[in-house]
Amino acid sequence: MTEPDMPTPPWERARRRPARVRVPLTRERIVDAAFVVLDQEGLDGLSMRRVASELGVAVSALYAHVDNKGELLELMYHRLFDGFELPEPDPELWQEQLKDFARESRARLQRHRDMARISMGQVPFTPELLRHVERLLALLRTAGVPDRVAAIAGDMLSTYIDGFVAEEGVWQERYQGEDTKSWSEIREDMKEYFGALPPDRFPNMLAVANLMVDETNDYRFDLGLDIILRGLASYVKEPPDAS
Partner DNA sequence: GAACGAGTAAGAACGCTGTTCAGTAAAGCA
Partner DNA sequence: TGCTTTACTGAACAGCGTTCTTACTCGTTC
* Residues lying near DNA in the complex (CB under 7 A): 1, 4, 20, 22, 24-25, 45-50, 52, 56-61, 63-65, 68-70
Q: Is 183 in the site for its own copies (CB under 8 A)?
A: no
Q: Which does 42 bind (CB under 5 to 8 A by kind): its own copies, DNA, none?
A: none
Query: Which CB, 45 or 203, lies closer to DNA?
Result: 45
Query: Which class for 75: exposed (0-12), middle (13-18), buried (19 or more C-beta within 10 A)?
Result: middle
Closest contact distance (angstroms) between CB of 2 and DNA is 9
Query: Which CB, 19 or 156, lies closer to its own copies?
Result: 156
Q: Find the part of the chain contacting its own copies (CB under 8 A) among 54-62, 92-100, 105-113, 229-237.
A: 229-237
Single out the residue of 12, 155, 192, 218 in contact with its own copies (rule: CB under 8 A).
155
Binding characters for its own copies, 100-129, by CB under 8 A (x = yes): --------------------x--x------
Say which residues have a Cβ less than 8 Å from residue 241's Cβ, sequence separation at least 6: none
Q: Is 163 in the site for its own copies (CB under 8 A)?
A: yes
- Contact residues toward its own copies (CB under 8 A) are 120, 123, 130-131, 133-134, 137-138, 141, 147-153, 155-156, 159-160, 162-164, 167, 170, 197, 201-205, 207-208, 211-212, 215, 220, 223-224, 226-232, 234-235
